[in-house]
């Protein structure tokens, strides 16, 4: 959407460090692979509960995964 700034994230990097596919991450988070793809490509910002789940899964802070700066 024009005028909407989405967050940048480190999901592809974090996934790669753990040798996870998008499907693996989707299964671990109980979301679709399309959701993971949309998150990684910046087309979708996660809900707060999903952001917490992602941070817990990767054992880091939400701020270590997501960055609202351009």
Are 42 and 33 in contact by the 8 Å Cβ rule? The answer is: no
pLDDT of the residue at 1: 46
pLDDT in tens, 10-21: 999 999 999 999
The per-residue DSSP string of 33-62 comes to HHHHHHHHTTS-PPPHHHHHHHHHHTTS-H
pLDDT in tens, 23-69: 999 999 999 999 999 999 989 999 999 999 999 999 999 999 998 76
Residue 4 — very low, low, confident or very high, per pLDDT cuts 50/70/90? Answer: low
Task: Please state the separation of Cα 40 from the chain's center in Å.
Answer: 6
Full domain range(s) for residue 31: 11-60
Residue 7 — very low, low, confident or very high, per pLDDT cuts 50/70/90? Answer: confident
Nearest to 70 by CA among 37, 44, 35, 42: 42
The number of folded domains in the chain is 1
Structural domain contains residue 2: no
User: 16: domain CATH number?
Assistant: 1.10.260.40
pLDDT of the residue at 50: 98
Distance CA(68)–CA(51), nearest Å, equals 13
Structural domain contains residue 54: yes
């Amino acid at each position: 959407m024009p005028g909407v700034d989405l967050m940048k994230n480190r999901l592809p990097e974090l996934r790669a460090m753990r040798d996870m596919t998008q499907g693996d991450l989707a299964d671990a988070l109980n979301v679709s692979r399309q959701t993971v793809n949309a998150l990684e490509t910046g087309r979708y910002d996660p809900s707060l509960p999903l952001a917490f789940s992602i941070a817990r899964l990767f054992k880091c802070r939400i701020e270590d995964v997501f960055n609202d700066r351009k």
